[in-house]
């Protein structure tokens, strides 16, 4: 398939970010859309277009979020090495699934302060991930990364405890991404 022929779709997943004044990492593997007749989200066969005399439209494939904790952990460790004891890593597929189904982000405690919201993605430059962090008292912070393993970073300030993070992916290829709320030097 040529680059221009790729049908873009949005994949939604959310991730828990927990921590104190350290680095918080979450990774997720996103799969491409399932094809008609192939497995869909939940492992059930996707509907196949009708073969009756009256043509019926094929259903739009449902994005299937998959979880590969080993590959995700390897990617996160490569891009954002974990050092020290004030850093937490969580790879919880059930939380991602629950957040995706409720169409909301997962909220977790993060102490007030100045941080860097960083994001990296692997899986091809035709794909991208956007992470939006919201916290009471400040405007939402958004960072977007092409899936070419380049780290993108934006300042993120919290005046209250707690943040909600949501992610949106575009593209048709399976990708791995890692998002980090990192304490700034001297923070």
Q: Is residue 42 part of a domain?
A: no
The CATH number linked to 66 is: 2.60.120
Please write the tens of the pLDDT for every residue from 120-166: 888 888 888 888 888 888 899 999 999 898 989 899 888 877 777 77
Q: Are 34 and 41 in contact (CB under 8 A)?
A: yes
The number of CA neighbours under 13 Å toward the Cβ of 20 is: 4
Is 82 domain-assigned? yes
Residue 148 included in any domain: yes
**Does some domain include residue 51?**
no
**50 in a structural domain:** no
Region for residue 5 given its phi and psi (left: phi exceeds 0; alpha: psi -120 to 50; beta: otherwise): alpha
179 lies in some domain: yes
State pTM to two decimals.
0.56
Q: How many domains, the chain?
A: 1
Q: How far apart are CA 170 and CA 28, in angstroms?
A: 14
- Tens of pLDDT, residue by residue over 21-46, are 233 444 444 333 333 444 444 444 44
Domain that holds residue 126: 10-35+61-183
């Amino acid at each position: 398939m040529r680059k221009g022929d790729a049908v873009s779709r949005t994949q939604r997943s959310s991730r828990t970010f927990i921590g104190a004044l350290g680095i918080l990492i979450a990774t997720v593997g996103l799969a491409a859309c399932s094809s008609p007749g192939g497995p869909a989200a939940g492992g059930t066969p996707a509907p196949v277009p009708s073969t009756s005399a009256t043509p019926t439209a094929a259903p739009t494939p449902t994005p299937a979020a998959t979880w590969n904790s080993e590959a995700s952990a390897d990617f996160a460790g490569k891009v954002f090495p974990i050092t020290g004891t004030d850093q937490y890593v969580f790879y919880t597929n059930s939380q991602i699934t629950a957040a995706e189904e409720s169409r909301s982000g997962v909220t977790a405690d993060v102490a007030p302060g100045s941080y860097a919201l960083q994001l990296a993605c692997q899986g091809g430059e035709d794909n991208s991930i956007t992470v939006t962090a919201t916290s009471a008292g400040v405007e939402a912070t958004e960072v977007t990364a092409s899936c070419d393993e380049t780290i993108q970073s934006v300042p993120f300030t919290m005046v209250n405890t707690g943040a909600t993070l949501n992610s949106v992916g575009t593209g048709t290829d399976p990708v791995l991404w890692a998002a980090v709320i990192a304490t700034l030097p001297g923070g």
